[in-house]
Amino acid sequence: MPLIGVWEKNPEQLSGALSQAFKKHQLAAQIFSLNHAIPCPKELDLFVWQSGAPENPPSLQVRARALIVEGMESAAALKHCMPDMVITAGLDSKDSMTLSSLLLHDGGIAALQRELVRLDGKVIQPQEVYLDGLSGPIVDKLVIRTALLLCSQEELET
């Protein structure tokens, strides 16, 4: 079961949305807000840095298999995390996971722009995935979809 730590702007907001999405997709994971984790785990499978979160978390230093962060905030996140891989999610065309199209009623479609290696070692090819059913602002939805892709053991519905 993956261990996912979230440094977030509003404690329990993104971590709660991640928990809901994992339950919906029947994926098991231990997800928690690092804003409240004392002591903080030193080893994580995923470290998620939410856009707009405080830049200087007190004594937060973790090692993670993957860091998911909005591209423009990666420098701040890397001060507190030593990841094996960094995955950017956001609205910039250079982000690993970015918005492909926004649909009024269905949430939109995201584009995975490069190969990713899932936590189980399987390679995920670039593809488009739906953001429907995910809660939060659009960048949070991109982060959540990326976490689902990394932790899935089966192909997610695209």
78 within 8 A of 67, measured Cβ to Cβ: yes
Residue 34 lies in a domain: yes
The whole-number pLDDT of residue 87 equals 97
The whole-number pLDDT of residue 158 equals 44
Residue 158 lies in a domain: no
Type of residue at 63: R
Residue 145 lies in a domain: yes
The whole-number pLDDT of residue 4 equals 96
Range of the domain at 127: 3-151
Residue 157 lies in a domain: no
Burial string for 10-21 (b: 16+ CB within 10 Å, else e) reads eeebbbbbbbbb
The whole-number pLDDT of residue 142 equals 95
Give Cα separations from 73 to 11, 66, 69, 90, 103 (angstroms).
18, 15, 7, 10, 26
95 within 8 A of 88, measured Cβ to Cβ: yes
Q: Which residues of the chain have pLDDT under 70?
A: 37-38, 104-106, 154-158
50 within 8 A of 143, measured Cβ to Cβ: yes
Q: Which two tokens stand for residue 77?
A: 């996140």
DSSP letter string, 21-48: HHHHTT---EEEETTT-SSPPSEEEEEE
How many domains does the chain contain in total?
Answer: 1
Which candidate, 141, 129, 150, places its Cα nearest to that of 47? 150
